[in-house]
């Protein structure tokens, strides 16, 4: 199932040429991932408090295809590509209408309070399965 999250490009998101600064795409997809998790019914604050687990980005593979510009209305799509006991891989895309502007494959790992990888809680995996 694909999650969709709208993003408006503000002046602060652009560079001197009036196009979205490359690092801001990472901010857009981060917001979309947070909303995707929230949409699954997972409270990340509670996950940390109850289980001591947080998510960290392990890897990002990104392709910048076409620039977004000031005042564009974009959509960030997020879909689960793979799941292991301690890791999830997401495919994300930023679109303007039907045009794909940016794609990324993001690998997230679950970390314990010690900073070491840990298994995803069963309830989180169940949320993904219902997803």
The answer to whether residue 15 is catalytic is yes
Give the contacts of 87 (CB within 8 A, at least 6 positions apart). 58, 107, 108, 109, 110, 117
Pick the catalytic residue: 15, 50, 63, 82? 15
For residues 20 and 101, what is the distance between their CA atoms, to the nearest angstrom? 11
For residues 76 and 80, what is the distance between their CA atoms, to the nearest angstrom? 13
Residues annotated catalytic, as ranges: 15
């Amino acid at each position: 199932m694909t999650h969709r999250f709208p993003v408006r490009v503000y002046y602060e998101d652009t560079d001197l040429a009036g196009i979205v600064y490359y690092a801001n795409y990472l901010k857009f997809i981060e917001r979309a991932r947070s909303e995707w998790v929230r949409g699954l019914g997972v409270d990340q604050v509670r996950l940390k408090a109850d289980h001591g687990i947080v998510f960290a980005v392990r890897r990002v593979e990104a392709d910048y295809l076409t620039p977004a510009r000031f005042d564009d209305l974009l959509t960030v799509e997020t879909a689960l590509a793979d799941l292991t006991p301690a890791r999830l891989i997401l495919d994300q895309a930023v679109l303007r209408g039907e045009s794909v502007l940016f794609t990324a494959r993001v690998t997230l790992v679950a970390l314990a309070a010690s900073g070491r990888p840990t298994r995803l809680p069963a309830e989180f995996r169940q949320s993904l399965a219902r997803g």
